[in-house]
Structure 1
Amino acid sequence: MIELKGLTKHYGDKVAVDQLTFTVRPGIVTGFLGPNGAGKSTTMRMVLGLDNPTAGSVRIDGKHYRQLKDPLTYVGALLDAKAMHGGRSAANHLLCLAQSNGIPRARVDEVLDLVGLTSVVKKRSRGFSLGMGQRLGIAAALLGNPRILMFDEPVNGLDPEGIHWIRHVMKRLAAQGRTVFVSSHLMSEMALTAEHLVVIGKGRLLADTSMAEFIQENSRSYVRLRSPERERLLDVLHRAGVRAVAGPDGALEVDGVPAERLGELAAAQRVVLHELSPQQASLEEAFMQLTAGVVEYHARNGGGPAAGRRGPSRPAVPERALSVGPPPGSWGTGRQRKRS
């Protein structure tokens, strides 16, 4: 597990992280959300010992990151895909990491094939596109077959097929009993990937809950009804003690009553329904509702005519592998490890 207790970080007068306490547990994908400047990256850096906390503590399986022997076999992280020597090839970049942590050479070839970079193993990383660099960063995170994975914006630069692939990789890692902690601003992707959410704003903890509970607690859920016999339907609902309010397009909206119950009421009185649909906010809507008061950087609407221009993109490397390797501690090649 990753355990944070009162974790705090100051940069001069700036409070980047403020008394964060939460636990990231194995077996599920935990999403780490917050507006720009909320302190997500700083928190992840402190987990990895890259920044020292001003106060509080963070432990990985009860130890500080710096106390871990061969740390890449405990924690695999992607914080900055471009954090590599541009003159090294993809294979040599991973080989240096492998040799520093006692990881077999064969594992380098395995992860390069896994992320789809086998055809460019000898190419220097400075010539990689954003998506290729992201894949190499993911390969480095998986290199030690670690029990804990941390990803900061893992889908950045990936094409739709790559996004679909990394989503299922993270789910499969969690299903193997590993701890998966992922930060992203892409709410639609988080909604498909994460089961649990930790949300922060201005360095403070705002939510630590399941995906379903987060959406339910921070948004309105209701049932939408449409009928060519609108007045009759209103009478039926009124007699049953159900309050309905007018919605768009002549529809009715009902809070706090299951759709099944409303359908049964209409059917009992032979009222024709053209629509009976439960409505629930998206993760993005719930997130915007919760963090409305802690957004640090506000953009203005509008922009010049060049606001939407984009340059040409480079083709991404195709997906190749569907598995992420054996469970922790069972590479099958090289030296075996025994852990308590």
Structure 2
Amino acid sequence: MIELAGLTKRYGEKVAVNRLTFTVRPGVVTGFLGPNGSGKSTTMRMILGLDHPTAGDVRIDGKHYDRLKDPLTYIGALLEAKAWHGGRSAYHHLLCLAQSNGIPRQRVGEVLETVGLTAVARKKTKGFSLGMGQRLGIAAALLGDPRILMFDEPVNGLDPEGIHWIRTLMKTLAAQGRTVFVSSHLMSEMALTADHLVVIGQGRLLADTSMADFVERNAGSRVRIRTPQRERLLDVLHGAGLTVVETGSGAFEVAGSAPERIGELAAQHRLVLHELSTQQPSLEEAFMRLTAESVEYHAHADAAAGGQRWGDGWGRG
């Protein structure tokens, strides 16, 4: 279990992390989301003792990271995909980590097999692709068979097979009762992987809830309707106090109402429906709505379209 209590980090006048308090519990995959510059990486670094908090506290199974004996046996982490010496082989990189943490040599071969790197175990890592580097970083995280695992952008550089593999691995680890904490910008992947979400913006906690509750609370489901009697049905729905949104595809959607109620209204007025379906919102929609006021770096499409802007302001080197 990872416990944060009032965790704060300042760099001069900038507050990167602002009094974060939450708990990452075992048995579920907890997703860690936030816009760029929200403080996610700083928070993860403080969990691992790589940065020291200005205020507050963070504990790993009740202890500070620097108090853990053989820390790889408590928590394994993937933060930097290529945090190794390029002149070493994958095997010897992991062997060094194992020997420094009291981990048996045989474990090196086991994790190499788990991540699919056995065939290149004796090759120097400087020739590894980004995806191979990700697999080696994951192997290092698994090396001590820890109860807690933390991954930052674990699917970066992986092919579709690799993405499916890491998704299944994280779910399997959580099912074993381990604590799994994962940060990613890929909303579609997070939606398939995480059971619980912690969302931050500008260093502050915005949400700490289940995936289903987060999406429902911040986006809400809608009911999609198609009918050959559009005008009559629109009159009925407006008369019932429902808000209708045109979709531009010959259908319209209603928010804040169950499909059963709409179906009953249509039946009462003898209206024909060609479609009546619930449209589940996406994690991306919910995330964008919640964090709209917390985005630090805004891109503007018109700036990219107008070539003159690049040369006039900061495009010249």
What's the TM-score once normalised by structure 2's chain length?
Answer: 0.91
Percent identical: 76
Q: For structure 2, which runs of at least 5 residues remain unmatched after alignment?
A: 307-317
Q: Which digits, 9 at most, give the CA deviation of each residue in 1:247-306, with x for residues without a partner?
A: 13443432322113323443465532111121232111111111111111122326379x
Larger relative helix fraction: 2
Task: Provide the residue aligned with 1:247 in structure 2.
Answer: 246
Q: Which digits, 9 at most, give the CA deviation of each residue in 1:286-332, with x for residues without a partner?
A: 11111111111122326379xxxxxxxxxxxxxxxxxxxxxxxxxxx
Q: Which digits, 9 at most, give the CA deviation of each residue in 1:4-60, with x for residues without a partner?
A: 001011112221111111000000010001111111111111101111111100001
Task: Provide the residue aligned with 1:151 in structure 2.
Answer: 151
Task: Provide the residue aligned with 2:123 in structure 1.
Answer: 123
Distance 1:87 1:12, change over 3 A: same
Structure 1: which amino acid aligns with 2:120?
Answer: V
Structure 2: which amino acid aligns with 1:122?
Answer: R
Q: Which digits, 9 at most, give the CA deviation of each residue in 1:129-163, with x for residues without a partner?
A: 11100000000001111100000000000011111
Task: Provide the residue aligned with 1:228 in structure 2.
Answer: 228
Once residues 232 and 287 of structure 1 are traced to their aligned partners in structure 2, the CA distance between those partners, rounded to angstroms, is 36
Task: Provide the residue aligned with 2:217 in structure 1.
Answer: 217
SS class of match (2:219): coil
Task: Provide the residue aligned with 1:176 in structure 2.
Answer: 176
SS class of match (1:45): helix
Once residues 75 and 114 of structure 2 are traced to their aligned partners in structure 1, the CA distance between those partners, rounded to angstroms, is 18
Instruction: Say if 2:201 and 2:291, in contact at 8 Å, map to a contact too.
Output: yes
Once residues 105 and 58 of structure 1 are traced to their aligned partners in structure 2, the CA distance between those partners, rounded to angstroms, is 31
Structure 2: which amino acid aligns with 1:243?
Answer: L
1:220-299 equivalence runs, <5 A = 220-234=220-234, 237=237, 241=240, 243-248=242-247, 249-267=249-267, 270-299=270-299
Task: Provide the residue aligned with 1:57 in structure 2.
Answer: 57
Structure 1: which amino acid aligns with 2:59?
Answer: R
How much does 1:190 deviate? 0.5
Cα root mean square deviation, aligned:
2.0
SS class of match (1:212): helix
Instruction: Say if 1:32 and 1:198, in contact at 8 Å, map to a contact too.
Output: yes
SS class of match (1:292): helix
How much does 1:212 deviate? 1.2
Once residues 208 and 95 of structure 1 are traced to their aligned partners in structure 2, the CA distance between those partners, rounded to angstroms, is 38
Once residues 97 and 193 of structure 1 are traced to their aligned partners in structure 2, the CA distance between those partners, rounded to angstroms, is 28
Task: Provide the residue aligned with 1:141 in structure 2.
Answer: 141
Q: For structure 1, which runs of at least 5 residues remain unmatched after alignment?
A: 306-340
Segments ≥4 residues shifted beyond 6 Å: none
Instruction: Say if 2:4 and 2:21, in contact at 8 Å, map to a contact too.
Output: yes
Task: Provide the residue aligned with 1:107 in structure 2.
Answer: 107
Once residues 51 and 220 of structure 2 are traced to their aligned partners in structure 1, the CA distance between those partners, rounded to angstroms, is 39
Instruction: Say if 1:242 and 1:254, in contact at 8 Å, map to a contact too.
Output: no
* 1:69 maps onto 2:92 in alignment: no
What's the TM-score once normalised by structure 1's chain length?
Answer: 0.85
SS class of match (1:293): helix
Distance 1:246 1:98, change over 3 A: closer
Distance 1:50 1:92, change over 3 A: same
